[in-house]
């Protein structure tokens, strides 16, 4: 089992598969990483994935958590602020 990362990502993105495959999203993540930012990207597949990824991010001490449209109910329960769409 790998050792825990001593510097976990501050920014977590929880996306559905369609959003994760968009060039603009991939380019934005690459640009942030190129600037030295640690970015964790999680892609949902099954019911409950978004909630599990949010819990994982919070446990890891995420400073910023961004959800695409799949997280509406989750935001309401967790008090998270919705983010603007990742598309232009």
pLDDT in tens, 22-66: 888 888 889 989 999 899 999 998 888 988 998 898 888 888 888
In CATH, the number for domain 11-78 is 3.40.50.10330
Distance from the first to the final alpha carbon of the chain: 40
Q: Would you list the domain boundaries of the chain? A: 11-78
Q: What is the pLDDT of residue 16?
A: 84
To the question of pTM greater than 0.75 for the whole model, the response is no
Instruction: State residue 39 phi and psi, 5-degree precision.
Output: -125, 125
What's the CA gap between 74 and 68, in Å, rounded? 11
């Amino acid at each position: 089992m790998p050792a825990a990362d001593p510097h976990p990502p501050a920014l977590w993105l929880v996306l559905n598969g369609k959003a994760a495959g968009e060039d603009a999203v991939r380019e934005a993540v690459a640009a942030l990483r190129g600037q030295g930012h640690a970015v964790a990207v999680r892609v949902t597949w099954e019911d409950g994935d978004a909630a599990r990824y949010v819990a994982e991010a919070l446990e890891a001490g995420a400073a910023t958590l961004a959800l695409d449209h799949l997280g509406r109910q989750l935001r309401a329960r967790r008090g998270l602020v919705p983010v603007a769409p990742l598309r232009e």
